[in-house]
């Protein structure tokens, strides 16, 4: 992002992240940082013909682990694009106490451990989120 619009968006994102951090500190909440890891299929699994029951079992464990993290409040959201396997990628947005803890969380993902998916970790800050009222109304 370059130019005035890019600078405005970056400044607004930074302001929202600072406000959210300040509100958490004022309420005595522990300071947890947000991270995102991007998942891509390892090249050898980008063709459906390469998938066996073993890979499907790994994906089931991957999903179950993320579902448990969502239930505990650690996971903010997770999902994937609906593109061909050669282009698809997934996002896992979550909170951790430190970058080392975030790295450990990502590396313990069953799909990463098994080499089915390759993950890259990035610090992240959710700037805006859909309200719960809208989400629960089905819109």
Write the CB contacts of 33 (distance below 8 Å, at least 6 apart in sequence).
95, 96, 97, 98, 99, 102, 123
CA distance 2 to 4: 7
Cα R_g (the chain), whole angstroms? 17
- Walk along the chain (139 residues) and give the pLDDT tens digit of each residue: 455 544 444 444 444 444 444 444 445 556 899 999 999 999 999 999 999 999 999 999 999 999 999 999 999 999 999 999 999 999 999 999 999 999 999 999 999 999 999 999 999 999 998 887 655 545 4
Question: Which has the closest alpha carbon to 75: 50, 106, 112?
Answer: 106
What does the DSSP 8-state code read for residue 83? S
Other Cβ atoms within 10 Å of 37 Cβ, number: 23
Give this prediction's pTM.
0.74
């Amino acid at each position: 992002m370059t130019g005035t619009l890019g600078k405005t968006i970056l400044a607004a994102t930074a302001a929202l992240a600072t406000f959210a951090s300040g509100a958490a500190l004022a309420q005595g909440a522990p300071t947890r940082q947000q991270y995102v890891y991007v998942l891509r299929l390892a090249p050898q699994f980008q063709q459906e013909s390469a998938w066996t029951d073993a890979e499907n079992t790994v994906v089931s464990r991957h999903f179950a682990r993320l579902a448990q993290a969502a239930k505990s409040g650690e996971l903010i959201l997770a999902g994937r694009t609906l593109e061909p396997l050669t282009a698809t990628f997934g996002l896992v947005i979550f909170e951790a106490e430190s970058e080392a803890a975030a790295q450990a969380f990502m590396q313990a993902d069953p799909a990463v451990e098994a080499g089915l998916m390759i993950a890259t970790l990035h610090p992240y800050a959710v700037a805006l989120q859909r309200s719960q009222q809208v989400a629960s109304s089905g819109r």
